[in-house]
Amino acid sequence: MTETLLSDLEAILLVGGQGTRLRPLTLGTPKPLLPTAGVPFLAHQLARARSFGVRRIVFATSYRAEMFSEAFGDGSAFGLEIEYMTEETPLGTGGAIRNAAAALTCDPDAPVLVLNGDILSGHDIGAQVALHTARRAAVTLHLTEVEDPSRFGCVPTDGEGRVTAFLEKTPDPVTNRINAGCYVFTRSVINGIPEGRIVSVERETFPGLIEAGAPVLGYAEASYWLDVGTPAAFVKGSRDLVLGRLASPALPGPPGDFLALPGAMISPEAVVADGSVVGARAVVEAGARVSGSVLGDDCVVHAGAEVVDSVVGIGARVSSRSVLRDVVIGDGAVVGSGNELLAGSRVWPGVVLPECAVRFSSDV
């Protein structure tokens, strides 16, 4: 597929959510700033948007808003111009778009790209914008196909690609195409979103446009797509980026079996594989096994420990003979020797688990 390049496109990036499903990782850090394949998650979105010709991005912030400007500044490191618009109270997706639009500089008939700050996508943004412009649409949504659309609201379209409805979650969905969370608005359409109150684009803005007869289009593309809102999805997204399943200009190194950041120390007798990230100055000792996991900066995985499909926070320690599978360990936590944490366990920051405090089997 040849990607379509654009020029002078402005975008709004929605990053106001609290990321409650990812706690304890998000207790001190907004979800879009969590380290993902070696860099803050948003770095992948920013670099990819720039690769399509986006020149200016307005961040729609709310939760811990100041951390975004600390991380990305004026955007010059990405070849972008970044502005920040903060909601005093959360306004929903539509309200956030309307609030951020005050910082846009484009003409009323110009396309505006709207990105969600928790989505990894490999779709052709340029082709989506080109379709929107060619058809003079009010809004054009990226639609993706999923195996189980009953977990999402589905979006049926007619033979011309116009969206006909937004259907809530149902056990019998009429299509496997869902809203993938990337929109192209005509700038003037954003002005029609009510200002200063909570507005949902899915429940209010889009259905209202369809009812009024405005052209709302679906751009369907079955490329890589992932909502990283849960720990398991977050780990998968980082792993897929490291392995090269989704290309990212922001990846700090070539794709490979694992990514080690500066200062990381991995014993030759350790096994680190399956798209794992070993954070800066982190240590993986002899006999340890790390697979498909994200190890934060300055953490330690001691000899003989096993970490699989998990996140180990900044400065945390996993002691010898401990087993972690599908778990999240908060910053500064200590997992004592012989613990066995499985299937969605979460250890809060600073917590110290004594030796053999948690077991899922009788073997020690």
C-alpha distances in Å from residue 28, one per residue of 61, 270, 298: 15, 31, 17
| Catalytic (active-site) positions | 169
pLDDT at residue number 4 = 52
**Terminal-to-terminal C-alpha distance of the chain:** 52
The token pair at 207 is: 């259905």
Measure CA 126 to chain center: 20
**What is the rounded distance in angstroms from the CA atom of residue 238 to the CA atom of residue 236?**
6
CA angle 347/351/355 to nearest 5° reads 90
DSSP 157: B
Question: What per-residue confidence (pLDDT) applies to 1?
Answer: 40
The predicted model scores a pTM of: 0.87
CB 341 within 8 A of CB 319: no
Of 351, 319, 346, 345, residue with least CA distance to 332: 351
* pLDDT of the residue at 268: 96
Angle among Cα 248, 37, 340 to the nearest 5 degrees reads 150
Taking the C-alpha atoms of residue 61 and residue 79, their distance in angstroms, rounded to an integer, is 21
pLDDT digits (tens, 9 = 90+) for 97-112: 999 998 998 888 999 9
Cα separation, 291 vs 300, whole angstroms: 15
The closest of 236, 235, 254, 252 to 244, measured between CA atoms, is: 254
Listed in sequence order, the residues at least 6 apart from 337 whose beta carbon sits closer than 8 Å to its beta carbon are 302, 319, 320, 321, 322, 355, 356
- Which stretches of the chain score pLDDT less than 50? 1-2
Q: Phi/psi of residue 77, each to 5°?
A: -65, -20
Q: Using alpha carbons, select from 195, 174, 242 the residue that is nearest to residue 95.
A: 195
